[in-house]
Amino acid sequence: MPSKGGCVMANGQLSEMTKGWLTPLQADFLTRFFATGVGASFFLTGGTALSAFYLHHRLSEDLDLFTLDDLALREADVLMPQLAADLGCCIGPTRRTKHFSQLFLEPDAETSLKIELVRDFGPQYGEHIKVGNVIVDSIKNIGANKLTAILGRTEPKDFVDLVFILRAGYDFDELLAKAGEKDLGLQPFFMAGSLLQVRNFHHLPATTPPLPLPELQSFIIPLADRLLDRVHPPGSR
């Protein structure tokens, strides 16, 4: 659903809910960005949204801001230099395409902050929450996007996030169906192959509580096997 309207107000303010899970620069940027007119057309999603506002399971270093509005993406690009100056930052390397913008805020005394602004397409699931003035994606939508991300890349953090989402009570098959509506190329056989890349991992991001690599693998591999069984039932493989 679009970020304008359809939000659920969460209890507490930004500092109360996200203390220890956002860096000072992340928190300051989000507060300032969502206080602008263009910010109201975006929502925070991805690993930082998942951890800082919902599961509190790992630190995430970047900010993923999605919009369903073409004009908002262009307006946000124009806004960034002023926001950077207000935060005492320089703007580092940038990348831009028609529907995507990536930039780095570089402060004097803190690690740089990667920000990605994305014009999203396709269906959206669940209701956004609003904490202070920050609009945050739903776990269902983040979960579906995590599956499409795993299909397209192999980053341990996505697998870690998926495990914590499923352990929070969300259903794998439901998220997979929603991911398939977002990415029509998502097929069980290819999804299984992507999930099985977990066998090649050597290190995982730190989590709370800790998630050892063998535990991650023992959780993910059966999901992949289930998908393969749907394509090639036991006895036919």
For residue 41, the domain's CATH number is 3.10.450.620
Measure the CA–CA gap between 79 and 102, rounded to whole angstroms.
Answer: 14
Residue 231: pLDDT band (50, 70, 90) is: confident
Residues 174 and 195 placed together within one structural domain of the fold: yes
Q: What percent of the chain has pLDDT over 70?
A: 93
Residues 91 and 176 placed together within one structural domain of the fold: no
pTM beyond 0.85, yes or no: yes
Residues 85 and 155 placed together within one structural domain of the fold: no
Residue 5: pLDDT band (50, 70, 90) is: very low
Residue 110: pLDDT band (50, 70, 90) is: confident
Rounded to 10 deg, the angle between the 139-152 and 172-182 helix axes is 70
Residue 175 has pLDDT above 90, yes or no: yes
**Across residues 114-142, what is the average pLDDT?**
97
Is residue 115 helix, strand or coil?
strand
Lowest mean pLDDT among 7-16, 43-52, 134-143: 7-16
Measure the CA–CA gap between 93 and 72, rounded to whole angstroms.
Answer: 21
Residues in contact with 162: Cβ distance below 8 Å, sequence separation at least 6, in sequence order:
143, 146, 147, 150, 220
Residues 26 and 91 placed together within one structural domain of the fold: yes
Question: Domain ends where: 90, 122, 137?
Answer: 137
Residues 67 and 182 placed together within one structural domain of the fold: no
Residues 117 and 231 placed together within one structural domain of the fold: no
Measure the CA–CA gap between 222 and 138, rounded to whole angstroms.
Answer: 26
Residues 55 and 133 placed together within one structural domain of the fold: yes
DSSP letter (8 states) at residue 232: S
Residues 122 and 228 placed together within one structural domain of the fold: no
Residues 40 and 126 placed together within one structural domain of the fold: yes
Lowest mean pLDDT among 6-10, 116-120, 143-147, 184-188: 6-10
Residues 116 and 206 placed together within one structural domain of the fold: no
Number of H helices, E strands in the chain: 9, 8
Residues in contact with 209: Cβ distance below 8 Å, sequence separation at least 6, in sequence order:
none
Residues 44 and 160 placed together within one structural domain of the fold: no
Residues 40 and 106 placed together within one structural domain of the fold: yes
Tell me how many domains the chain contains: 2
Tell the residue number behind the tokens 């925070």, with chain if given.
Answer: 44
Residue 237 has pLDDT above 90, yes or no: no
Please choose, from the candidates 163, 171, 167, the residue with its C-alpha nearest in 3D space to the C-alpha of residue 205. Answer: 163
Question: Domain ends where: 102, 137, 172?
Answer: 137
pLDDT at 99: 95
β-bridge pairing 90-97 and 62-67: unpaired
Residue 109: pLDDT band (50, 70, 90) is: confident
Question: Domain ends where: 105, 137, 169?
Answer: 137
Backbone angles phi, psi at 93, to 5 degrees: -55, 140
209 burial type by CB count under 10 A (0-12 exposed, 13-18 middle, 19+ buried): exposed
Domain that holds residue 40: 1-137
